[in-house]
Structure 1
Amino acid sequence: MKIVQVGVGKMGRAWMKAFATTEDVELAGIVEPVVANREWAMAEYGLVPSQCFDSVDAALVMPRWDAAVIVTPPPSHYPLAGQLLRAGKHVLLEKPLATSIEDARALVGIAEETGRTLMVAQNYRYHDAFSAVRPLVASGRIGTVRAVNIQFQKDGRTIFGEGDFRYAMKHVLLVDMSIHHFDMVRAMLGTNPERVYAQTWHVPGGVFEFDAAASVLITMEDGALVSYVGNWAAFDRETSWNGDWEIVGDRGRIVWAGGDFTDAGITVREWGKEPDRITFEPLVKGGQLGLLEAFASAIASGTHPETAAADNVHSLGIVFAAVESAETGQVVQLG
């Protein structure tokens, strides 16, 4: 399957690396408005000028390619994905699916109308540690999950380059980062949210113009309570990108903290028993590689990928419910 990548900036370069190390798909070309980035792609990955375009319109003139990976700032996701779907291309795009729930649902509708696959790059589902914790929860070893506590902390001053678009985003933590954690909760518990309450705050001395910290309480449809505290302007202890998790069941709990991959610490603590430290192997294909393989497999088989946009709307719904709750001070009902 031949794919055109739209956007080869900072995050786009991670995707370029993934294309270079997989045989599941072929990189047919790129779309990138910045000349220096196009020149970088040609120098690093052997692309020729006829494969490098400054717009999607220009790329659509090129024959014989099947799909696109969109790695651009969030406001461009809706127009770009809509254009590509209507042009008959399958689309895998970086999160968030869209910057409003209405646009997200509209994209799902376009994908259904055109018969194309629309998938969201929720790559945290393809991390080593998550892939080890998820089956532990599903096994019932800790019983029915009653609560999930998540803490996430990163120092935004050290993450992005000068002038990054995130620094001026409203609700940047919720929209650009927390979507990963909310999506993992849904996947782990196998249920959708029922209601959401959130508060956000501005951390003095940080690099973000608007609130970059939040506390969110999510009630799932099965009654499980999710308590989430995130801070993208932390000046103290940082967590991994996955965050620190405590999953509490009626027969025990799972504690997950530490690194992002096989350096993560996962411990099962069943009531009345000794703690059990879990060991696990790395995924053969994780992160972007796992996403590309799942995308190609879904298209080839005509099935829906795990992170299809139609499913992702439920994760994105938590984000926008949290934003609404933070702005109104009210509990937001979903479903």
Structure 2
Amino acid sequence: MTPRTSPLGVVVVGYGYWGPNIVRNVMERPELELIALCERDPAQVRRFEARTPGVPSSDDFDALLADPRVDAVCIATPPRTHYALARKALEAGKHVLVEKPLATAVEDAEALVDLAERKELVLMPGHTFLYSPPVNKIHDLITSGELGEIYFVTSSRMNLGLYQADGVVCDLAPHDLSILLYWLDRRVASVSAAGCTVFDPDVAETAFLTLRFEDGPSANVQVSWLAPRKVRQMIIVGSRKMVQYDDTMPDGAVRIYDRGLDMEVVQEPANFGEHRLTYRSGDIVAPRIDAAEPLSLELADFANSILTGARPRSHSRLGLEIVRVLAAAEASLAGSGEPVVISREGTLVSKAAPLGPDTRAA
């Protein structure tokens, strides 16, 4: 295969909350060239044109897909639109990066993964935290064994707003789920969830998820739009060490604690009461972590996957697994917190409703 020397042509779809960040990073990546923006909101188009003179925009997605210069599409639109847009792009032979979640229903996510694999195209969910230097530092600590056996993880992701019709689980939980699946490298076996609704009985503004991983630890995840301040914190408890990750502290996002409980055996114990627990409290280390923009690294991985065929870190089957966990969480919410089991085949024991409006006919 002759190495490609020209950049990959990219269309960005959507210029709302996240689209401007994708546009900027596409323009800064040497492997990529921004061909056009696809946006139908005139106000957003004017904002794009003011910031990006010389790059065209269009509201005709089909016409952009027919352009032979376009190799890939980056979708940054509301979750309920992801399936229809990604399906169209894949059917047109374009590689796709779609923001989280991959789709809002399990059957839609499965269909996208199957279509991409049959057409040998890259389908990459935009789980940007997998490219965060602090997240990767903790991944290295876990895989190296420095933390020992991982007992459990707690996560809090809270702020005031932004209210969205898809619900807080669909909006915020994919971040934590992608990090947990990346760190622990295990399948989620069951999910239970409890929620709180204040303004709309069909939309949870706060949710508490408990995940149990196959042959491994458990994790508790709290997500909320109703909090007085922004919280982005995860705590990993291992048999040797513990780690605190605070994404709101760029100068000290990771703290490694040489702390824990050790069990001291008293001679030959006849029962558990003859064991003695001792506290261990050692150093607290803040490792140096080089700064890098995760979205730029994500787009570099996307381009590399297109050019080399390598599987991206944020790959389609990871995105599918996250959609299954989200569906299980929503089913548990609807079932008053009853745990929902996810089989090895990916089916749910209880019927899971779609995470948002069904858009397969779009």
TM-score (norm 1): 0.88
Deviates more, 1:122-131 or 1:81-90: 122-131
Alpha-carbon shift at residue 273 of structure 1 (Å): 4.6
- Aligned partner of 1:186 in structure 2 is 181
- Aligned partner of 1:80 in structure 2 is 85
C-alpha change, 1:307 and 1:34, in structure 2 (3 Å) is same
- The DSSP-based 3-state class of the residue aligned with 2:243 is strand
Residues 252, 286 of structure 2: 8 Å contact kept: no
| Distance (whole Å) between structure 2 residues aligned to residue 230 and residue 40 of structure 1 | 31
| Distance (whole Å) between structure 2 residues aligned to residue 5 and residue 209 of structure 1 | 31
| Distance (whole Å) between structure 1 residues aligned to residue 86 and residue 289 of structure 2 | 35
| Distance (whole Å) between structure 2 residues aligned to residue 258 and residue 141 of structure 1 | 21
- The DSSP-based 3-state class of the residue aligned with 2:121 is coil
Residues 241, 256 of structure 2: 8 Å contact kept: no
- Aligned partner of 1:143 in structure 2 is 148
Equivalenced residue count is 316
Residues 155, 232 of structure 1: 8 Å contact kept: yes
Equivalent AA in structure 2 for residue 93 of structure 1:
V
Equivalent AA in structure 2 for residue 147 of structure 1:
F
C-alpha change, 1:23 and 1:260, in structure 2 (3 Å) is farther
| Structure 2, unpaired ranges of 5+ | 1-7, 261-279, 345-362
Q: Choose the corresponding residue for 2:230, options 210, 234, 238.
A: 238
- The DSSP-based 3-state class of the residue aligned with 1:198 is strand
Q: Choose the corresponding residue for 2:214, options 200, 205, 221.
A: 221
- Deviation per CA, 1:161-187, whole angstroms, max 9, x where unpaired? xxxxx4333xx1111111110110010
C-alpha change, 1:308 and 1:24, in structure 2 (3 Å) is same
- Aligned partner of 1:257 in structure 2 is 246
| Distance (whole Å) between structure 2 residues aligned to residue 91 and residue 189 of structure 1 | 26
- The DSSP-based 3-state class of the residue aligned with 1:106 is helix
- Aligned partner of 2:165 in structure 1 is 168
Alpha-carbon shift at residue 231 of structure 1 (Å): 1.6
Instruction: Tell whether 2:285 aligns with 1:280.
Output: no
Residues 194, 220 of structure 1: 8 Å contact kept: yes
- Aligned partner of 1:163 in structure 2 is none
Residues 101, 322 of structure 2: 8 Å contact kept: no
- Aligned partner of 1:33 in structure 2 is 40
| Structure 1, unpaired ranges of 5+ | 161-165
Alpha-carbon shift at residue 203 of structure 1 (Å): 4.3
Matches within 5 A, 1:323-334: 323-329=330-336, 330-334=338-342
TM-score (norm 2): 0.82
Residues 38, 57 of structure 2: 8 Å contact kept: yes
CA radius of gyration, larger in? 2
Alpha-carbon shift at residue 238 of structure 1 (Å): 3.0
Matches within 5 A, 1:187-202: 187-202=182-197
- The DSSP-based 3-state class of the residue aligned with 2:31 is coil
